[in-house]
Amino acid sequence: MRSDAWATAVAHPNIALVKYWGKRDEDLILPLADSLSMTLDIFPTTTTVRLMPGQGQDSAFLDGIPASGQARRRIAAFLDLVRDRTGSTVRARVDTVNTVPVGAGLASSAAGFAALAVAAATVYDAGLDTVGLSRLARRGSGSACRSVFGGFVQWYAAYPGIPDPDQASYAQPLGDVQLELALIAVLVDTGPKPVSSREAMTRTVSTSRLFPRWLAATLEDVPAMRAALRDGDIARVGAIAERSAMGMHDTMEAAVPPVRYRTPASRHVLGLVRAMRARGEQTWATMDAGANVKVLCPPGDAPRIAAELASMSGSRTVIAGPGPAATLTLGDW
């Protein structure tokens, strides 16, 4: 490891088709169930990690603005994990450039920690393969472990009883998916979310009376979605994805106090998607921890459906397809 080393990595957000919502270990970020996602080809995050010998603490800049508070602490804690592996004590400067609005439920933390994992592991010479990078990214933000890989991806929960769950929980790309799938992001609200997904998830697990039912449904949705993806059956994929997302939101709305990410604008778009489906379109909705609605549909239909959703909702729409794995783009180490 050279003392002036730096590395730059790019990663893309992913959309979960079967959602991750609930941890069994908050420190190791171990989920209660597997989840399945598609990495997207929009809104990449680019992160540079530069070693700063002589600097007393890590520094981080998000879109050029110095990170403070929780955001800086999360990045520094993540770098500590990398340093613990390598025995280094050298601090670093992290520069992250997002192309997606931060905190709006568009998975900026997934792309962000996937890019940070690749760049930091390189610069500190952590010697990790892609599965190791996925495990590491998971410690920054659970969903980030899926953005290490491109296309369709499964994150393994590592069920209780496994001797070393940290080792056993990582993502892997699915090699047997035939499906052609597009996603339309309907940007009804790109402001910061009312509650962080981390806090909302913890509150849901500990207070929502619907949580046990949600978890049981997820354990069934994972193999059902695997089979639907393998069969290239967009109607089954869409139906399972929509019920996973709406079940997650119903479950968090039953938390005490409730977590409400669905706004009147989101509900309007959800209604448009249902109405389109009722007239024979192949459209299904999904949402993450924010007000924006993402619509799954066949790629050939996406421009027409996106234009209709934009005109009916007055919101900007962005069309995405399957995106690439996180990659190192530049470096000097």
Least distance to ligand DP6, CB of residue 5, Å: 27
When the beta carbons of 30 and 318 are compared against ligand DP6, the nearer one is: 30
Residue 117's identity, in one-letter code, is: A
Q: Between residues 46 and 141, which has the closer beta carbon with respect to ligand DP6?
A: 141
Residue 143 beta carbon to ligand DP6: minimum distance, rounded to whole angstroms = 3
Say how many residues make up the chain. Answer: 333
Min separation Cβ 257 and ligand DP6, Å: 18
Nearer to ligand DP6, 16 or 117 (CB): 16
Residue 249: CB minimum distance to ligand DP6, A: 9
Rounded Cα gap, residues 232 and 257, in angstroms = 40
Closer to ligand DP6 by Cβ: residue 21 or 152: 21
Q: 121 or 171: whose CB is closer to ligand DP6?
A: 171
Question: Residue 29 or 90: which CB sits closer to ligand DP6?
Answer: 29
Residue with nearest beta carbon to ligand DP6:
142
Find the shortest distance in angstroms from Cβ 321 to ligand DP6: 18
SS3 151: coil
Amino acid code (one letter) for 212: P
Residues that bind ligand DP6 (CB under 6 A): 16, 19-21, 29, 35, 107, 109, 141-143, 197-198, 201, 288-289
End-to-end CA distance of the chain: 7
Angle at CA 198, nearest 5°, toward 28 and 255? Answer: 120
| DSSP run (H or E) holding 135 | helix 130-140
Q: What is the rounded CA–CA span in Å between residue 191 and residue 67?
A: 18
45: β partners: 11, 98
Tell me the three state secondary structure of residue 105.
coil
Distance, in Å, from the CA atom of 26 to the CA atom of 33, rounded to the nearest integer, reads 14
Minimum gap (Å) between residue 303 Cβ and ligand DP6: 26
CA angle 48, 141, 7 (to 5 degrees): 15
- Closer residue to ligand DP6 (CB): 144 or 302: 144
The least distance separating ligand DP6 from the CB of residue 11, rounded to whole angstroms, comes to 13
**Coil, helix or strand for 215?**
helix
- Tell me the residue type at 325: A
